[in-house]
Amino acid sequence: MPLYRTIIPDSQTKVLIWKIEESFEALSKEITLTDKCELRVQRMKSDIHKRGFLSIRKLLEIEGYSDFDLYYDENGKPHLKDGKFISITHSYEFAAIIISDSEVGIDIEKQRSKIIRIAHKFTPLEEYRTLANDDALMRKLTIVWCAKESLYKSFAERGVSFLRHIDVADFDLDENQTTAKIVYGNRTAVYEVHFFEFEGFTCAYTFNQKI
């Protein structure tokens, strides 16, 4: 079973990462989906998306859950029926979940140079122009994107802009954590952000801080 990594940030939170190596048929074994999710998988055209979807269900099984314990609200945010908080991500050959007693978010992204070209859409790029080379810039921007994506998933309110409403405090690449804030409407949320890199990918996960 390709459970790639388990992280336990605290006694109430667990991160599980799956490396997607099996075929769709192998992943389908012993997994029972709701009728809605069965239809959703059948409509997926990409094999890797199908396998990513099932890998998430494998990770749920490890924690004692099934597809029937998971539901989504009107904003598309996943929830567990027992009241635990959950966030989900998959990118190419990796999938991950974070489960906690408090509000959380997670994202995995493949590191690609094209993020430099689109960075102006999600962060003030001038903040990072002091980096020594494009590789370091790509790595840092990927962390920022992952952080903002995980924050967006946690906050889960339509209309939030990565560029205008989410601010990630500056950090060094070797620090592995920072803080962030979302200010939107009459809501302000402050977060811890943790990140790490592996096999050409970046993962960030976030915790909401009550203020």
Q: What residues pair up with 16 in beta bridges, in sequence order? A: 6, 97
Domain 3-102: give its CATH superfamily. Answer: 4'-phosphopantetheinyl transferase domain (3.90.470.20)
Q: Return the SS3 of 133.
A: coil
Residue ranges per domain, the chain? 3-102, 107-209
CATH 3.90.470.20 fits 107-209, yes or no: yes
Do the domains at 3-102 and 107-209 have one common CATH topology?
Answer: yes
> What's the rounded Cα separation, in Å, for the pair 165 and 207?
17
Opening angle at CA 65, ends 33 and 40, nearest 5: 25
User: What is the model's pLDDT at position 169?
Assistant: 92
Q: What is the pLDDT along the chain (211 residues), one digit of tens a residue?
A: 589 999 999 999 999 999 999 999 999 988 999 999 999 999 999 999 999 999 999 999 999 999 999 999 988 899 999 999 999 999 999 999 999 999 999 999 999 999 999 998 999 866 666 666 889 889 999 999 999 999 999 998 889 999 999 999 999 888 899 999 999 999 999 999 999 999 999 999 999 865 4
Q: Return the SS3 of 153.
A: helix
Contacts of 35 (CB under 8 A, 6+ apart): none
> What's the rounded Cα separation, in Å, for the pair 101 and 191?
15
> What's the rounded Cα separation, in Å, for the pair 197 and 103?
23
Cβ pair 108, 203 in contact under 8 A: yes
